[in-house]
Amino acid sequence: MRTLADRIRHVIAYEIIAMLVVVPVGSAVFGTQMLDMGVVGIVGATIATLWNFAFNYVFDLGMQQACGTTEKRGLQRLLHGVLFEGGLTLILLPFLSWYLGITVLQALAMHISFAIFYFGYTLVFNWAYDRVFPLPEWQDANA
């Protein structure tokens, strides 16, 4: 398992690299000022992190109450993902629309674009992170 220090390094690297991509690319793609896209990126990442913490806590409480365990299987994982993304969308859309002065439909298109980017980015980042910072037990297993 990764240490707390390693997890902190992971989160910081993940967010910094994401901002280095999201701000200039998002600004170019959506025709917004870099400062505005930077604010959107920082606020969005902060909201997503807080939502992740709160949502997972409440979801696990519900799972424990309803099922007697927090272990998620296929359908529960699907429900978890859909509810998480749906909730995050509902939270972020008003902010995106208000801050950028765009319609809710334009904010939805932007949010979907971000979600697609972050899905691919997360896969690539975590793969690369695991290669750069492998755990000792992985090295022993491959020896």
**pLDDT (average), residues 7-21:** 93
Q: Output the pLDDT for position 74.
A: 86
pTM above threshold 0.85: no
**pLDDT (average), residues 32-51:** 95
81-84 LR contacts (CB < 8 Å, sep 24+): 83/55, 83/59, 84/51, 84/52, 84/55, 84/56, 84/59
Q: Output the pLDDT for position 111.
A: 95
**pLDDT (average), residues 69-90:** 90
Does the structure show a pLDDT above 70 at 101? Answer: yes
Q: Output the pLDDT for position 27.
A: 97
User: How far is the first Cα of the chain from the last one, in angstroms, to the nearest whole number?
Assistant: 19
**Of 92, 120, 119, 118, nearest in space to 107 by CA:** 92
**Of 41, 78, 80, nearest in space to 58 by CA:** 80
Tokens linked to 56: 């997972």
d(CA 36, CA 72): 38
d(CA 111, CA 96): 8
**Of 85, 89, 82, nearest in space to 108 by CA:** 89
| pLDDT bracket for residue 140 (50, 70, 90) | low
* 121 three-class SS: helix
**pLDDT (average), residues 63-70:** 89
| pLDDT bracket for residue 141 (50, 70, 90) | low
pLDDT tens string 106-126? 999 999 999 999 999 999 999
DSSP string, 88-106: HHHHHHHHHHHHHT--HHH
